[in-house]
Structures are given as structure tokens and as C-alpha cells.
Structure 1
Amino acid sequence: MSFSTPTQPDASAQVSGHSTTHASSSAELASLKVGLRAALRQFPDFPSPGILFEDILPIFADPKLHESLIRSLELHILDAYGGQKPDVIVGLEARGFLMGPSLALRLGASFVPVRKQGKLPGPCVTQAYEKEYGQDFFQMQEGAIKPGQKVIVVDDIIATGGSAWAGGEMIRKMGGDLLGFIFILELEFLKGRDKLPAPVYTLLSGQA
């Protein structure tokens, strides 16, 4: 009777396979982003003079673009966190609700909304944050995030970063592990990402 020694996977092949997969995902993401960027519309002087409004709604009006958006966010998460998926997707009022539930479903995660004060029933965690003209308050329902759960926050645009910061603070109060923040666009000149306590990812290039 003869015995053979099990062969070990070749390390170089494993590395090559990983690199090929990463390159393929990067290429797919780059292609998807071209279509998403082309779909955006801009409206000068809305909602007030001097503001260039970025309209993301055409993405959601087209099922293929909607799918491209969710796939793009999924690809980023799987790459950025080494295949580690979040337990919870938190969506900020209001446009975070447009993509948050779909992304959560794709990743097998729960979805938790952050809303303006007074919009959620039952006991809530509250966090104040500064706006351009005064203060506002965000809330999440108590127990919506369990201690140790891995959380990603999503929204359409990061501007001053105040609302995203408030969401992160409430996650921290409930004991969640904040993995990062994801936005479609960024108003880079406002430097909102500097306020945030976890990595920030912007899917499309924003207004510098």
C-alpha cells in the first residue's frame, strides 16, 4: 500500500488568484462608476443662489442604474473590509433611505434609519449636531444596534459632516463597531470628512 502526501496550494497561485479577483472587481467598479456619474444632473442656484445642486434621483428612476449603484457599494465594502460584511447598515435621513435598505438586503445585514427628532416612536437615543445656521437633533431607536455589531453609515452627499458625525456618535453610544461611512458624492471644499471618526469613502468624484 502506498501513501501520498497531500499537496499544499501553491502560495504564488493564491496570491495571483487574489490579485486577479481584486483587479476584476476594480475594473467592474470603475466601469459602473462611469455610468452612474453620467446619470447625475446638476441644478445651479438650488435651493438658494450660489449652490450647485447634485441630483441623484435619475439613478433610482432607472432599474439598471439602481442595480449599478448597489453593486458598486457592495464591491467597495467587500474590498475595503477584506470580505468582512457589516451587521447593520445605517441610513441617514433622508436620502440614505433610498439606498440603505437595498444595500443591507444585498449584504444580509439589517437596516436602521437615523431620523430627525420626534419622527421615531418609543425610547430613542438622541444626538445634537451643528448645522450651518444653528443646531439640529438626530435620533435612533434604543436597541436598534447591539453592542459589538459592525456598522456602516450611508448617505447621498457629505457636506459639513455634522449629520454623519451625529449618526456615528449614536452608534458609539449603543456600543456598535463603526466600520466606516459611505457617500455617493462629497463637497470636498467643506472638509466634512475631517469631523468623522472612521474611514470615509466617496463613490463618485464630487465638487472640489
Structure 2
Amino acid sequence: MERLVVDVPDFPEPGVLFKDMSPMLADHGAFTAVIEVLASAGRDESGAVVVDKVIGMESRGFILGAPVALSLGVGFVPVRKAGKLPRATYAVSYALEYGEATLEIHRDAVAPGERVLLVDDVLATGGTVAATRELVALCGGSTHAVSVLMEIGALPGREGVGGLPLTVLASV
């Protein structure tokens, strides 16, 4: 994992250790393997797809979530920072590891009763996952599972996941 995810100290702010996944994205074999593992959370034991949509959280969740949706044969929904979506939205504010943010989803992005898989690059404090779960619920959908490339083990990210199934490729 060390050659595929590079540590960048003090980015985007002093004291934050950024995990750059660009080398993994540039390696076709590694990228393909990562997408298949992340997508496995949207399938049951027999391999049948059990979700209706994949949600990727801004912004690196888009890079991973869109190919996961393609792998599963379902639609992709972006959850964006405030003010980035052009139509009516639901919004939820939450705390980040290094600040605060607001996420939004189009009000019609998830139909009532649809089951979704949440995909992101890093699980840190769990705030992004918790906020996105709340957005899905506001739409009338339900969150089936969460898939992430990395979990920062020293932070309480699993609290935001709650009792949902969690797929993690690496703990750092």
C-alpha cells in the first residue's frame, strides 16, 4: 500500500497528513482490484447486487464511487459541498478532522425505498459518512453499507458508520 498511497504532510493544512491515492489510480491493476473490493459491499454472498445506487462523497469519493457504480450496474449519485449542485437540495452540516463542512444532495437523487452504498477514500472522524447517511434518509432511502479505501484507526470514524457493514482496504 505504501507505494500506492503516498503520505503528504501538512496538506491541506499544517498538522494534517494527507493520503495521496494518485499512484494507485495510475496503476490499472491496483485500481481495478480496489474497485472490485469496494464494490463487493454492494453484493450479497451469492454475488447478486443488493443496492440501487452508489453515492460518492466529495471529492475523492467521486473517483472511487463512479467506477464502483459501473461495476455493480447501478446509478451513481454525487454528494457535494454546499452550493455546487444546480437544483433543489437537502443539506447537512458536520465537523471534519480539521474544520466544518456542509454536504448536499439533490432532493430527487435517491428515490424513497432505494438502498445505497456509500463510497469514499478515507474514513477519519466519521462525520462525512454520518452526514451522508442523514442526506440519504432525507431522500427516503436507506444506507446498505459503507466502503472506503483507508481508515485512520486513531480516529473515531466507525462511530459515524454505526452498525452498518464497513469494507476497508487498509487501516492506517
CA distance in 1, matches of 2:121, 2:66: 13
Q: Secondary structure at the match of 1:190?
A: coil
Q: What is the match of residue 199 of structure 1?
A: 165
Q: What is the match of residue 59 of structure 2?
A: 94
Rg comparison, structure with higher value: 1
- Cα drift, residue 132 of structure 1: 4.3
Q: Does the 8 Å contact 2:53/2:77 carry over to 1? A: yes
Q: Does the 8 Å contact 1:85/1:107 carry over to 2? A: no
Q: Gapped runs of 5+ residues in structure 2? A: none
Q: Does the 8 Å contact 1:41/1:54 carry over to 2? A: yes
- Cα drift, residue 136 of structure 1: 2.0
Q: Give the 3 Å change call, closer, same or farther, for CA 88–56 of structure 1 in structure 2.
A: same
Given residue 168 of structure 2, which amino acid in structure 1 is its aligned partner? T
Count of residues in Structure 1 that have an aligned counterpart in Structure 2: 171
- Cα drift, residue 84 of structure 1: 3.9
- Cα drift, residue 138 of structure 1: 0.6
Q: What is the match of residue 69 of structure 1?
A: 34
- Cα drift, residue 80 of structure 1: 6.2
Where do 1:1-208 residues align within 5 Å? Answer: 38-78=3-43, 83-132=48-97, 134-197=99-162, 198-204=164-170, 206-207=171-172
TM-score between both structures, scaled by the size of structure 2? 0.88
Q: Give the 3 Å change call, closer, same or farther, for CA 65–158 of structure 1 in structure 2.
A: same
- Cα drift, residue 200 of structure 1: 2.2
Q: Secondary structure at the match of 2:109?
A: coil
Q: Gapped runs of 5+ residues in structure 1? A: 1-35
RCO greater where, 1 or 2, for CA within 8 Å and sep 6 or more?
2
CA distance in 2, matches of 1:114, 1:80: 28
Q: Secondary structure at the match of 2:111?
A: coil
- Please list the CA deviations of residues 56-98 of structure 1 after superposition, one character each: whole Å capped at 9, or x if unmatched: 1111112222212112223344356863431100000000010
TM-score between both structures, scaled by the size of structure 1? 0.74
- Please list the CA deviations of residues 150-169 of structure 1 after superposition, one character each: whole Å capped at 9, or x if unmatched: 10100000111111111110
Q: Secondary structure at the match of 1:145?
A: coil
- Cα drift, residue 42 of structure 1: 2.1
- Please list the CA deviations of residues 160-189 of structure 1 after superposition, one character each: whole Å capped at 9, or x if unmatched: 111111111010111112101111001111
Given residue 100 of structure 1, which amino acid in structure 2 is its aligned partner? G
Task: Please identify which structure carries the higher strand content.
Answer: 2
CA distance in 1, matches of 2:96, 2:17: 19
Q: Give the 3 Å change call, closer, same or farther, for CA 201–164 of structure 1 in structure 2.
A: same
Q: Secondary structure at the match of 2:154?
A: helix
Q: Give the 3 Å change call, closer, same or farther, for CA 94–71 of structure 1 in structure 2.
A: same
Task: Please identify which structure carries the higher helix content.
Answer: 1
Q: How large is the Cα RMSD of the aligned pairs? A: 2.1
